[in-house]
Amino acid sequence: MEVSLLQLQSGRRARIKYLGGGLAFQRKLASLNIRIGKTIKKIAAQPFGGPVVIEIGNTRVTLGRGIAMRILLEVENEKIK
């Protein structure tokens, strides 16, 4: 089952399956080690259209919702909100 990072529940971990953007977008994400196959944890989503905070490795990253929407994750069924 596939969900976007935006849909993923806070506190959950999931593996990145697909990045919906061009090479430049993928490169940008890769600079913080956000790549296909990596596992990330969603820490929080700020209210009123605010950014999403994730943990990848030992780094925490703030990213806008438009970016979060384009990060698709593989999760097991019961983990969906």
Partner 1 sequence: MKKLNKVLLIGNPNVGKSAFFSRLTGVNVIISNYPGTTVELKKGKMKLGRKLVEVVDVPGTYNLEPTSKAEEVAVKMLKTGDLVINVVDATNLERNLYLTFQLLEKNIPVVIALNFWDETRHKGIDVDVKKLAQLLKVPVVPTVAVTGEGIKEIVSALKKAKTHAYKHTDKERWAKVGKITKQVQKIKRRHHTPLERLEDLTIKPLTGIPIALLTMLLTFYMIRFIGENLIAYMFEPLFNLYLPIVTGLSDILGSGFIHDILIGTLIGGEIDFVQSMGLLTTGLFVPFAMVLPYIFAFYLVLGFLEDIGYLPRLATLVDNVMHRIGMHGLAIIPMMLGLGCNVPGALSIRILETKRQRFIAATLMAIAVPCMAQIAMVFGLLGGYGIQGLGILFFTLFTVWVVLGFLLNRLMKGVTPETFTEISPYRIPYLRSLIKKLWMRLRSFLTTAIPFVLLGVFIVNILYISGIISFISNITAPVVVGVLGLPKEAIASLVIGFLRKDVAVGMLLPLGLTMKQLIIASAVLTMYFPCIATFIVLFRELGIKAMLKSSLIMLIVTLFVGGILNLLL
Binding site for partner 1 (CB under 8 A): 10, 24, 27-33, 35, 43-51, 53, 57-67
Q: Which helix (H) or strand (E) holds 59?
A: strand 59-63
β-strand partners of 55: 41, 60
Q: Helices marked H in the chain — which ranges?
A: 23-30, 65-69
> Measured from the CB of residue 61, what is the shortest distance to partner 1 in angstroms?
6
> Measured from the CB of residue 29, what is the shortest distance to partner 1 in angstroms?
8
What one-letter code names the amino acid at 55?
E
Residue 77 DSSP class: G
Of 48 and 81, nearer to partner 1 (C-beta) is 48
Of 2 and 46, nearer to partner 1 (C-beta) is 46
Of 47 and 77, nearer to partner 1 (C-beta) is 47
